[in-house]
Amino acid sequence: MLLSYREALNQAMREEMRRDPRIFLIGEEVGYYQGAFKVTKGFVEEFGPQRVVDTPITEAGFTGLAIGAAMAGLRPIVELMTMNFGIVALDQIVNNAAKIRYMSGGQLSVPLVIRGPGSAAHQLGAQHSQSLEAWFCHVPGLKVIAPATPHDAKGLLKSAIRDHNPVIFIEAQLLYGTKGEVDEGEYTIPIGQADVKRQGTDVTIVAYSKMLLVALEAAEQLSREDLDVEVIDPRTLKPLDLQTIVTSVRKTGRLVIVEEGWRFCGLGAQIAESIYSAAFDYLDAPIARVTGEDVPIPYSRPLEDAAIPDVPRVVAAVKSMCGAA
Amino acid sequence: MGDMDREDLLSLYRQMLLIRRFEEKSAEMYALAKIAGFLHLYIGEEAIAVGAIAALRQDDYVISAYRDHGHCLARGSDPGKVMAELFGKATGLCQGKGGSMHLVDLPKRFMGGYAIVGGHIPLATGLAFASKYQKQDLVTVCFFGEGAVPSGQAHEAFNLAALWKLPVIFICENNRYGMGTPVQRAVALYENVAEAARSYGIAAERVDGMDVLAVRALMRNVVDQVRAGQGPYFIEAMTYRFMGHSMADPSHGHYRTKDEVEEHRKRDPLVVLKETMLSQAHCSEADFKELEREVGDVVTAAVKFADESPFPDPASLHTDVMVED
Ligand SMILES: Cc1ncc(C[n+]2csc(CCOP(=O)(O)OP(=O)(O)O)c2C)c(N)n1
Ligand SMILES: [Mg+2]
C-alpha cells in the first residue's frame, strides 16, 4: 500500500502498542496536539493519556524518566519534537541510557526508543536544523537508525521498539510527507542491514535519510550521461552494515559518501576509514565525501542552500571521481 | 480626567502599534513566501515588551526567546533591518544568518532571540554576572514563556541568580499556552507560576500583561531595586497569545476555542491603553488616526527596504563562524 513516511511511523507504533501494553509514548505535544508533526495522530484517542503522555518542555526530565521506566521493565518510546532538543537530554542519553547495561555488569537493560526528526527543513535556523547522528554513533551502547523510505521506516521502527537496547531513531521533517510502497501486514526489518536502493557498476554512493533521495536523483541524472551508479542506504548507522558496502565497492571500485551533517568528524569519515581498511585494494580512486558545510546552518535561503548537499554537488563529485568532470 | 502625560502615552501606544502592524505585515509576507522558517507572532503580548523595556536604560541588557520581534522593536531596533532579517537579506540585523527567532542588535543591547526553550535563561544570568563583576550598575531583563519555567535550565539559572544576587529580572510572559499545551498541563503550580522563582528566594510579583502602564509601573520599582543590588526579581506577566503558536499553527487550533480567543481579545493591550488615553489624557480619534498613518508608513518602508535589499553572497556562508585575528 502507498503510505507517507509519517503514516508508516504511525502504523509501526500503533501495531506495536496494540501488541505490547508495556510500550508507552512520551514527549511534547504527542497526545492532544497529535504530535508536532502529526506522527501520533489518533494515539491518545486509541491508547489514552496513560500510554500517550504529554510532557512539559523538559527533555532531560522526561528522557530520564523513560530510562528509569525502561530499567523497571516498561518499553518507552520517547518522541523528541526535534533531535535538536535531544541536546538538552544528552546527559541522560549518553551518561545513563548508553551505559547502564555495561556499568551494571549486564544486570540492567534499557529497552528504549528515542525518536524524532533531524536535519534541516526549510530555513528553520541554526538551532533547529542540525544533523546530529554522528554524535550518537560515537557513543558505545546506542544503536542509531535513520531510514529514508516509508517501508524502511515502518519495519525498522518496529524492530527498534522490540530491541532490548536504547535506540536513537532519526527521522527527517522533509521526509514526513514523502510517499512510498509499504508491505501489507506484519513485517520488520532487521537492525544493521543496508539496502541496495539502485543497482549499478561504475560508482557506489552511500547515502541515508533525506540524502538518499538526493543520491537517487543524482544517480538518475548520471545515468543519462552513461554513468551507472549503485546507491546504498545503510538505514542503520550503528551497527553499520559494512559488508554490503564492501561488496559494492569491490564491484565498482569507487565510493562517494553523502551526508547532510558537518564534514569534520562526520559519519562519512568513519565509513571511509572502514572501507579503506576493508577494501583498499579494490578502490580505483580516493573515497569522496559530499557533506554539509562546517558552519551553523544559516537562515537565509541562498546561504542555507549553500550549506547543504544537493544533487548538482553529488553529480559533480561522481563525475570528477570518474574523470568526467 | 485628563491628568496623564499625553506625549508619554502616545509614545507607548506608538511602540505597541508598531509591533502590531509590523507583525501583521510579517504574516502577510510569510503568506507570500518572502519570509520562511518559523515565524512566531507576539500579537496580544505587546504591552509586556513595551512596558518593561520603557523602564530600562539604553545600556541595560535585554534577551528573549524566539518570539522576539516585539522585544527587538521595543528596544528601538530599525524596523527595516528587522524586516530584512526576516526576509533573509544581507542588510538584516544578522545579515540573514539568524532569521526571525535569532534577532540580535548589539548596539541596542538586545542580546538575542533563542529557540531552545529555556536555553537562554542561563545566558541572562551570565550577562548579569558580567555587569556585577565589572561593577557596572546594569540590569538584565530576560523574557521567556511560561512553558520554559519547568525546564531544568530555568531552575538552575534561578538558583544561581538568587545565590549570587545577580541583577537580573526574569519576565515570564504567561500567555497560557506552550504550543498546544495549556499551562495547567505543563506547570505543577500553574496558578502561581512565580512560586518556581520564590522557592529559590527570588522576589516575585504578578502583573496584568495587557496593561502597559501597569507593567511599566511595576518594572520601574523592580529595576530600581535590582539596580541597587537587591538581587534578582521574577515578574509573571499575564497575557494571551492571540495568534497560533507559529505560522504553522492556526490561530485557534483544536486545543482552544474561538470563544476563548475572542474573550481575551477584548482585553487587547492596544484597546486597554487607548481607552485610558481617550478618557484620561486628552487624546482623540484623530490622534490614533495619525499614529496609524505614521506607523503604517514605517512598516511600508521597512518592507520596501527588505524587499529591495540583496540576498547575502553565498561566499558569506563561511564568515563569522569564528573570530578571525
Ligand atoms: C528545548 C526545546 N524543546 C521544545 C521546543 C519546541 N517548542 C518551541 S516553542 C514551544 C512552546 C513554548 O511555550 P512557552 O515557553 O510558553 O512560550 P510561548 O511560545 O507561549 O511564547 C515548544 C515546545 C524547543 N524550541 N526547545
Ligand atoms: Mg506560553
Active site amino acids of A? 59, 128
Residue B1 has pLDDT above 70, yes or no: no
pLDDT-above-90 percentage for chain B:
96
Does the pLDDT of residue A65 top 80, yes or no?
Answer: yes
Residue A259 touches partner B, C-beta closer than 8 Å: no
Closest atom of ligand 1 to CA, residue A28: 23
The domains of chain B, with CATH numbers, are 39-76+107-294 (3.40.50.970)
The closest of A83, A325, A309 to A205, measured between CA atoms, is A309
Question: What is residue A284's DSSP assignment?
Answer: S
| pLDDT tens, residue by residue, B224-237 | 999 999 999 999 99
Q: Kindly tell me if the per-residue pLDDT of A45 is higher than 60.
A: yes
CB A88 to CB B119 under 8 A?
yes
* Per-residue pLDDT reduced to its tens digit, B158-191: 999 999 999 999 999 999 999 999 999 999 999 9
B179, B193, B261, best to mutate for ligand 1 pocket (most atoms within 8 Å of CB): B179
- With CA atoms as reference, report the closest residue to A289 among A320, A322, A255: A255
Whether residue B114 lies within 8 A of chain A, CB to CB, comes out as yes
Residue burial A133-143, b: 16+ Cβ < 10 Å; e: rest? bbbbbebebbb
**B148 vs chain A: nearest CA distance in angstroms?**
7
Ion ligand 2 neighbours (CB, 5 A) are B 145-147, 175, 178
* pLDDT (0 to 100) of residue B325: 73
In whole angstroms, give the CA distance from residue A248 to residue B88. 42
C-alpha distance from residue B261 to each of A266, B177, B264, B304 (Å): 47, 12, 5, 32
Question: Could you tell me if A42 lies within 8 Å of chain B, comparing CB atoms?
Answer: no
Rounded average pLDDT over B111-124: 98
- CA of A153 relative to ligand 2 center, distance in Å: 33
Average pLDDT over residues A97-120: 97
The band of A33, judged by pLDDT with boundaries at 50, 70 and 90, is very high
Q: What average pLDDT score do residues A83-99 get?
A: 98
Rounded CA-CA distance B151/B156 in Å is 9
Q: Does B178 touch chain A (CB under 8 A)?
A: yes
Nearest residue of A to residue B255 by CA position?
A: A33
Residue B241 alpha carbon to ligand 2 centre in Å: 8
**Closest residue of chain B to A296, computed from CA coordinates:** B321
Percent of chain B with pLDDT over 70: 99
Which value does ipTM take for this structure? 0.93
Determine contact: B2 vs chain A, CB below 8 A: no
Cβ pair B146, B48 in contact under 8 A? no
Looking at CA atoms only, how far is residue B133 from chain A in angstroms? 28
Checking if the pLDDT of A325 tops 70, the result is no
Cα–Cα distance measured from residue A105 to residue A55, given in angstroms and rounded to the nearest whole number = 32
| Residue B162 three-state SS | helix
The structural domains of chain A, ordered by start, are 2-181 (3.40.50.970), 195-321 (3.40.50.920)
pLDDT in the model for residue B251: 76
Q: pLDDT digit string (tens) for B187-238? A: 999 999 999 999 999 999 999 999 999 999 999 999 999 999 999 999 999 9
Chain B CB contacts of A298 below 8 Å: 96-97, 312, 317
Q: Which of B89, B91, B95, B97 to mutate to test the interface with A (most CBs of A within 10 A)?
A: B97
Does residue B2 carry a pLDDT above 60?
no
Chain A, 261 to 300: residues with Cβ < 8 Å from chain B are: 293-296, 298-300
Please give the average per-residue pLDDT across B143-148, as a whole number.
98
Q: Are B100 and A122 in contact (CB under 8 A)?
A: no
pLDDT of A324: 65
The three state secondary structure string of A209-251 is CHHHHHHHHHHHHHHCCCCCEEEEECCEEECCCHHHHHHHHHH
Is the pLDDT confidence value at B68 over 90? Answer: yes
User: Is the pLDDT assigned to residue B324 strictly greater than 90?
Assistant: no
CA of B146 to the centre of ligand 1 (A): 9
**CB-CB neighbors (< 8 A) of A301 in chain B:** 36, 88, 311
**Band of residue B250 on the pLDDT scale cut at 50, 70, 90:** confident
* Mean of per-residue pLDDT scores for chain B: 97
Question: Minimum-distance ligand to the CA of B67?
Answer: 1
The rounded distance, in Å, linking the Cα atoms of A155 and A184 is 11
Residue-wise pLDDT for B251-285, tens only, equals 777 899 999 999 999 999 999 999 999 999 999 99
**Alpha-carbon span B312 to B96, nearest angstrom:** 7
